Amino acid sequence: MSLISLKNVTKQSNGVTDLKNINLNIDSNSKIGIKITPSASKTLFELISGNIPISSGSIVKNTDSIIYELQTDGFYDSFTVKKYIKLFKKISNADNKYLNYLQEFSIEDIWNTKIKNLSSDQKRRISLFRMFISAPSLILIESPLTNLTDEGIELYLKAVDFIRNFHITVLFTSYYMEELLLLSDEVYRYNDKLGLEKIDIAEEDDTTNDDSGEKFHPQNVFKVACKMADKTIFFSPDEIDFIESINSVSNIRIGDEYYPSSLTMNDLEEKLAHFGFYRCHRSYLVNLQRISELISYSRNSYTLILKGSNKEKLPLSRTKMEDLRKLIES
Amino acid sequence: MNLSLRKINAIFQLKLQSIITNVSIMVAPMLAVGFVLIMKISMPKEVMTGAFLLGFGVLFNAIMGGIMTGSYPLAEEKEKNTLRVLMTSSVNGAEFIIGSIIPSIIMIIIVNIILVPIAGVSMDKINWPIYLIYTTLSGFISILIGYIIGIYSKNQMQAGNLSMPILLIFTMTPMFQMINKTIQNIASYTYSGTIINFINNMLTIKYTVDFKDITVLMTWLILSIIVFIYAYSKHGLDSE
């Protein structure tokens, strides 16, 4: 069942476009993640919950019990966890049975602690519990894992799974892809020119879309061709930071720019393997020369951080970790 | 707009606690009681009459306290992004305002009563119904002014800056009245001036309900309600 569906939704305020061309269908029990900036995320949440009107497009809502949390949301610091939760329990007229689930959120041990003495890991889980007890059908959360420790992330993911068992749909937004990959199955990216685009997490088909026109070319000379309007641009492999698959199109990323390529990820992987490219994730092909750091946010996931001013982060599947290590060390 | 008593009650308890634990708000009633006490003990009786002391205390408590309990907590909720959390948890603006005005009013009424014995005025000299109605009304007007300030400020510091000149004008009314007749005349049209005149008259000559006093208080009340509703409908509580 579809909870909310947005069609061509655009929001402008004071002559500035905050959100453009949003097409999104939130089904119940779906696990959607959206890569989006914090300010756009706030606008999106307010639109979905009906706090602000849309400028154009349409929203069909099949539920009104929506609650959302932004990363900057505050707490009453002088309150204990118990008092804080009781306040919101009273506001939402929640059932007492919810107080039996403290352990699932790992907050039983801090029940009588003042909120100002808690870590951000714990605060995040309290906030999640607060939303859970109001028994909404849809929860929207912005960047819950940012600044959390590994243990904090693990406990938070456990609590999110627990909430999802109650048929509460949880949608996440974040600016960081790896956060979304941990929290959701279906990931979209917001582009302020094109709107929402689905990122292919599933393996794409092995299409035989090879460039047979180029019959022979000297070994080790390869340029990636990108067609932009009426011209074709060629990039040397060493210029490319990484390649990302969006809506089944491989996008060459150089600095801050994206250039779509007509080749599939599989073709590119095959061709670029000689130039030190590695398929670190189903949707990502990374130039190994650009890697600067490897971080593990939780036991099951790793993140590659690239060189350059914007320190782009790419997910690395756990199964690929060993391969990559061998590649780099050999 | 639906009002839920349960939510109002929840906000009431929340606000009661946040007012009592917020030192910068409690400073007004404490100053009111403290100053009256100190002046009564340290100054000669001929200067510090009961009327002067009580008037002084009520001004501090109802005017300064009222404006502060209106503006500071609202600005604090906005500054710490906790108001947004309440609003997304299905609390609406009216529930929030009602739930937060009640504890402030109760505090102002209680301190206004306590001030009478502290100022050394005997209980039977006070015209209680009128005293309570007038002082509570002026407290209510001050709280509304405080809310208007709260709506227009982003944080507690800004709320402090905006409320300071207004606080000074109204709490200093009796001092301005001493300057000359014209200013005294103007001051009698402020709600704080009305309160001072009422207390003076009640304790020196017998006070009879005066048409001008009621008109002045009512005009201030209606004006502040109109400005408040305008500010609220234009900016909401959580404007950015």
CA distance A315 to A166: 29
User: Residue A207: its pLDDT value, please?
Assistant: 46
CB contact (8 A) between residue A134 and residue B89:
yes
* A112 and A223 part of one domain: no
Q: Which of B30, B26, B51, B45 is nearest to B119 (CA)?
A: B51
* A240 and A98 part of one domain: no
Lowest mean pLDDT among A94-103, A163-172, A319-328, B183-192: A319-328
* A190 and A152 part of one domain: yes
- Compute the CA torsion angle A47, A52, A57, A59 (nearest 10 deg): 50
Residue A240 lies in a domain: yes
Q: Which of A94, A154, A153 is nearest to A129 (CA)?
A: A94
**Residues of the domain holding B221:** 5-235
Residue A23 lies in a domain: yes
Residue A212 lies in a domain: no
Would you place residue B7 in the very low, low, confident or very high pLDDT band (cuts 50, 70, 90)?
Answer: very high
**Residues from chain A contacting residue B21 (CB–CB below 8 Å):** 78
Residue A71 lies in a domain: yes
* Of the partner residues A72, A79, A92, the one whose CB lies closest to the CB of residue B89: A92
CA of B229 to nearest chain A CA: how many angstroms apart?
Answer: 19
* Of the partner residues B10, B80, B84, the one whose CB lies closest to the CB of residue A90: B10
* A121 and A17 part of one domain: yes
Find the angle CA(B14)-CA(B70)-CA(B224) to the nearest 5 degrees. Answer: 135
Give the CATH number of the domain where residue A148 resides: 3.40.50.300
CB contact (8 A) between residue B9 and residue A69:
no
User: Residue A206: its pLDDT value, please?
Assistant: 44
Domain boundary at A133, A165, A197, which?
Answer: A197
CA of A86 to nearest chain B CA: how many angstroms apart?
Answer: 9
State the best of A79, A91, A133, A140 to mutate against chain B, taking most chain B CBs within 10 Å: A91
User: Residue A208: its pLDDT value, please?
Assistant: 45
Residue B20 lies in a domain: yes
Task: Decide: residue B136, CB within 10 A, 0-12 exposed, 13-18 middle, 19+ buried.
Answer: middle
**Residues from chain A contacting residue B5 (CB–CB below 8 Å):** none
Q: How many residues does chain A have?
A: 330
Work out the number of other CB atoms within 10 angstroms of the CB of residue A122: 21
Give the CATH number of the domain where residue A304 resides: 2.40.50.1020
* A166 and A244 part of one domain: no
Structural Rg of chain B based on CA atoms: 18
CA of A92 to nearest chain B CA: how many angstroms apart?
Answer: 7
**Residues of the domain holding A90:** 2-197
CB contact (8 A) between residue B6 and residue A90:
yes
* A193 and A222 part of one domain: no
* A309 and A167 part of one domain: no
For residue B165, give both structure tokens.
Answer: 């000149």
* A180 and A257 part of one domain: no
How does pLDDT run across B66-118, given as a tens digit for each residue?
A: 999 999 999 999 999 999 999 988 898 999 999 999 999 999 999 999 999 99
Residue B138 has pLDDT above 90, yes or no: yes
What strands, in cross-sheet order, belong to the sheet with A16-27?
A16-27, A2-13, A56-61
CB contact (8 A) between residue B82 and residue A92:
no
The tally of CA atoms less than 13 A away on the side-chain side of residue B15 is 28
Report how far Cα B46 is from the mean position of its chain's Cα atoms: 29
Residue A213 lies in a domain: no
For residue A230, which amino acid is it? D
What is the DSSP annotation of A284-318? Answer: EEEEGGGEEEEEEEETTEEEEEESSTT--EEEE-H
Where do the DSSP E strands lie in A107-160?
138-142
Terminal Cα distance for chain A, rounded: 51
DSSP secondary structure code for residue A136 in this structure = -
For residue B189, give both structure tokens.
Answer: 């049209």
Residue B240 lies in a domain: no
Percent helix, strand and coil across chain B, each to the nearest 5 = 80, 0, 20
Domain count, chain B: 1
A315 forms beta bridges with A303
* A58 and A176 part of one domain: yes
Between B49 and A113, residue with greater pLDDT: A113
CA distance A105 to A134: 15
**Residues from chain A contacting residue B76 (CB–CB below 8 Å):** none
What is the DSSP annotation of A200-255? Answer: --SPPP------TT-----TT---EEEEETTEEEEE-GGG--EEEEETTEEEEEET
User: Residue B240: its pLDDT value, please?
Assistant: 53
For residue A29, give both structure tokens.
Answer: 């029990």
For residue B53, give both structure tokens.
Answer: 């002391």
In three-state secondary structure terms, B58 is helix
Lowest mean pLDDT among A33-42, A76-85, A222-231, B112-121: A222-231
The DSSP bridge pattern shows strands A257-261 and A249-254 to be antiparallel
* Of the partner residues B17, B18, B88, the one whose CB lies closest to the CB of residue A67: B88
pTM (2 decimals)? 0.76
Q: Contact A255/A241 with Cβ under 8 angstroms? A: yes
Residue A210 lies in a domain: no
Would you place residue A220 in the very low, low, confident or very high pLDDT band (cuts 50, 70, 90)?
Answer: low
Residue B91 lies in a domain: yes
* A48 and A167 part of one domain: yes
Q: Contact A172/A187 with Cβ under 8 angstroms? A: no
Residue A224 lies in a domain: yes
State the best of A14, A76, A115 to mutate against chain B, taking most chain B CBs within 10 Å: A76
* A226 and A189 part of one domain: no
* A163 and A310 part of one domain: no
**Residues from chain B contacting residue A70 (CB–CB below 8 Å):** 81, 84
Residue A77 has pLDDT above 80, yes or no: yes
* B83 to chain A: closest CA residue: A74
For residue A59, which amino acid is it? I
How does pLDDT run across A176-210, given as a tens digit for each residue?
A: 888 888 899 888 988 877 788 888 765 444 444 44
* Of the partner residues B17, B85, B91, the one whose CB lies closest to the CB of residue A73: B85
CA distance A180 to A187: 7
DSSP secondary structure code for residue A40 in this structure = H
CA distance A312 to B229: 48
Domain count, chain A: 2
Residue A212 has pLDDT above 70, yes or no: no
Domain boundary at A166, A197, A228, which?
Answer: A197
* Of the partner residues B6, B82, B84, the one whose CB lies closest to the CB of residue A76: B82
CA distance A217 to A213: 11
CA of A87 to nearest chain B CA: how many angstroms apart?
Answer: 6
